[in-house]
Amino acid sequence: MCGRFAITLPNDAMAQLFAAQPANDLPTVPNFNVCPTTQVHVVRGTQTGRSLIPMRWGFLPHWYKSPTDGPLLINARAETIAEKPAFRAACRERRCIVVASGFYEWTKTEDGTRLPWYIYRQDTAPIAFAAIWQSWGKDDAIPTCAVVTTAANEDLKGIHHRMPLILEPDSWALWLGEQGKGAARLMHPGAQGVLAFHRVDPRVNSNRASGPELIEPFDDG
């Protein structure tokens, strides 16, 4: 599962990191509370090279008559992505990368209280989420995307049973289709010891919360 994340890297730094041509209408950064249906930073391969563009986080299959015509598809399970009618063509032909600095997950106490955690790379590098995309609509088509998820690895099982599929730099080209076929072999939980996490302020439970304090360690004792 991936339902909320943060992005703090400047747009030009993102473009440089992924060797991508940046669009002029990229989302504003930093954003410490990126929510579904908003615009996110996406790296996409093209015939002339990579581009860094905005996309709506919330995949819209071509048969949706409106953005709210069906379930909100922010994630796509790696185990079934090649079979689901909504995702199978995109999985073969339209893979991309969503850029993040870290993401949030929640645990629950015995009384049902939701406790948020911020998860990030131990080396503090940006996170590359494997994702798929789809243009929706005939006039002024909207580019949309979903983050691919896998079963959680041992590092994160105590927080959530699912995690985003995180790509290492040496896998970016294969996922984007620049090295031919074989992206399916990337769809597995990431290596242990890559991610770190800490509790954060319950303010992030609200999708209206903002500010750098959302990702700071939180002690409720």
pLDDT tens by residue, the chain, 221 residues: 689 999 999 999 999 999 999 999 999 999 999 999 999 999 999 888 999 999 999 999 999 999 999 999 999 999 999 999 999 999 999 999 999 999 999 998 888 889 999 999 999 999 999 999 999 998 889 999 999 999 999 999 999 999 999 999 999 999 999 998 899 999 988 888 999 999 999 999 999 999 999 999 998 75
Nearest to 162 by CA among 189, 185, 187: 189
Rounding to the nearest 10 degrees, give the CA dihedral for residues 161, 40, 6, 27.
-170
5-215 is classed CATH 3.90.1680.10: yes
d(CA 212, CA 193): 25
HSE-up of 188 (CA within 13 Å, CB side)?
Answer: 6
What is the predicted pLDDT for the residue at 221?
A: 59
What is the predicted pLDDT for the residue at 138?
A: 84
Tokens of 187: 């769809």
Q: Is the pTM of this model over 0.75?
A: yes
Pairing of strands 195-199, 20-22: unpaired
What is the predicted pLDDT for the residue at 139?
A: 83
Please report, for the chain, the start and end positions of each structural domain, with discontinuous segments joined by +.
5-215
Pairing of strands 49-57, 95-100: unpaired
